[in-house]
C-alpha cells in the first residue's frame, strides 16, 4: 500500500475509534411543517440514554414485530421467500417435463421412508437437507429443501407477502428496456412525431404519480416487464404468481432486498459497538 493509502487507512481507523465523533440520530419528524431530526453525541449522553439507544439498536436487528421486523429477522424472511419462489418454479419445471407433482411427492416420500434412508435423513432434517441430495435437478433448484418441495407438491407454500418490497425500493433498482419492450410498450410519439421520454411513458402506462423519480440502470435494473410485474405485485399464493414475477423475485428483487437489509444491519451493529465503547470509557453498564 502507498504512503497515501497508509495514511488514509490510519485516519479512518482513528475516526472509527474516536468516541467524540460518535453521533446518535433520532427519528425524523415534522416541526412547523419542516422535517427535522434530533441528534446528539453519544459521549454526552446519560447512562439511561445510552441504554435506550442500545436497546433500540438490538430491536432494529432482532425484533420479531410482523410489521417492522429487525434486519436479521427480515433477512430470514427474504431467504424463505426466495426458496418458496424457487420451489414453485421447480414444480412448474416438473410439469413441463411431464411429471405430476403429487406423484413425485409420493415417490419421494416412499424413498425417504426406506429404513436405510431414514437412518441418514430423519424427519427432523427435512427443513435443512436439500432435495438435490436425493434426486438430480437443475442447478437453479438445488438449494430447495426436502420440506419445501413436499409442501410445493401440495400447493402449500402459503402466501407471498409483498409489504417489504416498497415502491421506493423498486424505483431505486432502476430500469432497462429490451428492444422488444421499446417497440411494443414504449414507442409513443408526440404531435411532432418525436419519441416521448421512455421513463415518462412507463409512468403513464403504470399510472405512477408524476413525482415518482425513475432512472435507467443498464447494469442491473429491471426490464419494463419485470418492473411492471413488481409494481402490480400483490399478496398472493405462490402457485398463483405468474412466472415473470417468480423469476424476478428470485433472481433480482429479493437478493437486492437482502443486500439492503444486510447493509442496514451493519450500520446498527456499528452503532452498538460505538455505544459499547462510550460505556466502557465512562464506566456505564448496559444491563
Asked if residue 138 is part of any domain, the answer here is: yes
pLDDT of 13 > 60? The answer is no
Listed in sequence order, the residues at least 6 apart from 162 whose beta carbon sits closer than 8 Å to its beta carbon are 233, 234, 235
Q: What is the mean pLDDT of residues 248-276?
A: 97
Per the model's pLDDT, the better-predicted residue between 146 and 35 turns out to be 146
- pLDDT class for 219, splitting at 50, 70, 90? confident
Strand pairing category for 159-160 and 34-41: unpaired
Please indicate, yes or no, whether residues 81 and 142 belong to a single structural domain of this protein: yes
pLDDT of 80 > 90? The answer is yes
Please indicate, yes or no, whether residues 98 and 80 belong to a single structural domain of this protein: yes
Please indicate, yes or no, whether residues 257 and 215 belong to a single structural domain of this protein: no
pLDDT of 259 > 90? The answer is yes
Asked if residue 137 is part of any domain, the answer here is: yes
* Domain ranges, residue 173: 167-231
Please indicate, yes or no, whether residues 57 and 195 belong to a single structural domain of this protein: no
Question: Cell 413525482, residue?
Answer: 211
Asked if residue 152 is part of any domain, the answer here is: yes
Please indicate, yes or no, whether residues 120 and 248 belong to a single structural domain of this protein: yes
**Least confident window among 61-65, 193-197, 235-239, 270-274:** 193-197
| CA neighbor of 220 nearest in space, from 242, 251, 196 | 251
pLDDT of 53 > 60? The answer is yes
pLDDT at 14: 62
Asked if residue 179 is part of any domain, the answer here is: yes
Residues 81 and 212: their CA atoms lie apart, in Å, by 27
Model confidence over 196-211: pLDDT tens digits? 999 999 999 999 999 9
Please indicate, yes or no, whether residues 97 and 191 belong to a single structural domain of this protein: no
Asked if residue 192 is part of any domain, the answer here is: yes
| Phi-psi label, residue 44: left if phi above 0, alpha if psi -120 to 50, beta otherwise | alpha
pLDDT at 8: 55
Average pLDDT, the chain: 93
pLDDT at 34: 81
pLDDT of 237 > 70? The answer is yes
Please indicate, yes or no, whether residues 29 and 134 belong to a single structural domain of this protein: no
pLDDT of 33 > 90? The answer is no
Listed in sequence order, the residues at least 6 apart from 180 whose beta carbon sits closer than 8 Å to its beta carbon are none
Please indicate, yes or no, whether residues 189 and 210 belong to a single structural domain of this protein: yes
User: Which three cell numbers, joined as nine digits, stand for 150?
Assistant: 413436499
Asked if residue 123 is part of any domain, the answer here is: yes
pLDDT of 180 > 70? The answer is yes
Residues 136 and 169: their CA atoms lie apart, in Å, by 36
Please indicate, yes or no, whether residues 254 and 194 belong to a single structural domain of this protein: no
* Number of independent structural domains in the chain: 3
Residues 273 and 278: their CA atoms lie apart, in Å, by 9
**Least confident window among 8-17, 217-226, 260-269:** 8-17
Please indicate, yes or no, whether residues 136 and 33 belong to a single structural domain of this protein: no
Amino acid at each position: 500500500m502507498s504512503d497515501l493509502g497508509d495514511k488514509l487507512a490510519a485516519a479512518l481507523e482513528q475516526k472509527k475509534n474516536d468516541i467524540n465523533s460518535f453521533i446518535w440520530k433520532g427519528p425524523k419528524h415534522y416541526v412547523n411543517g419542516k422535517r427535522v431530526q434530533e441528534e446528539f453525541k453519544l459521549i454526552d449522553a446519560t447512562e439511561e440514554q445510552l441504554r435506550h439507544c442500545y436497546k433500540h439498536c438490538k430491536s432494529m436487528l432482532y425484533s420479531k414485530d410482523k410489521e417492522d421486523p429487525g434486519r436479521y429477522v427480515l433477512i430470514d424472511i427474504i431467504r424463505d421467500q426466495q426458496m418458496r419462489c424457487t420451489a414453485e418454479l421447480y414444480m412448474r419445471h416438473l410439469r413441463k417435463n411431464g411429471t405430476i407433482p403429487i406423484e413425485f411427492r409420493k415417490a419421494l416420500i416412499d424413498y425417504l421412508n426406506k429404513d436405510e434412508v431414514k437412518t441418514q435423513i430423519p424427519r427432523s432434517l427435512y427443513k435443512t437437507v436439500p432435495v438435490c441430495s436425493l434426486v438430480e435437478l437443475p442447478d437453479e433448484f438445488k438449494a430447495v429443501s426436502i420440506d419445501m418441495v413436499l409442501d410445493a407438491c401440495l400447493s402449500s407454500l402459503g402466501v407471498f407477502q409483498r409489504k417489504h418490497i416498497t415502491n421506493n425500493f423498486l424505483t431505486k433498482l432502476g430500469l432497462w428496456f429490451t428492444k422488444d419492450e421499446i417497440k411494443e410498450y414504449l414507442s409513443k410519439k408526440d404531435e411532432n412525431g418525436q419519441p416521448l421520454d421512455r421513463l415518462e411513458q412507463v409512468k403513464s402506462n403504470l399510472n405512477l404519480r408524476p413525482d415518482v423519480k425513475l432512472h435507467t440502470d443498464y447494469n442491473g435494473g429491471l426490464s419494463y416487464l419485470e418492473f411492471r410485474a413488481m409494481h402490480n405485485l400483490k399478496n398472493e399464493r405462490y402457485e398463483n404468481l405468474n412466472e415473470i414475477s417468480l423469476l424476478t423475485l428470485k433472481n433480482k428483487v429479493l437478493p437486492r432486498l437482502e443486500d439492503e437489509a444486510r447493509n442496514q444491519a451493519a450500520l446498527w451493529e456499528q452503532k452498538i459497538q460505538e455505544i459499547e465503547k462510550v460505556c466502557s470509557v465512562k464506566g456505564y453498564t448496559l444491563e
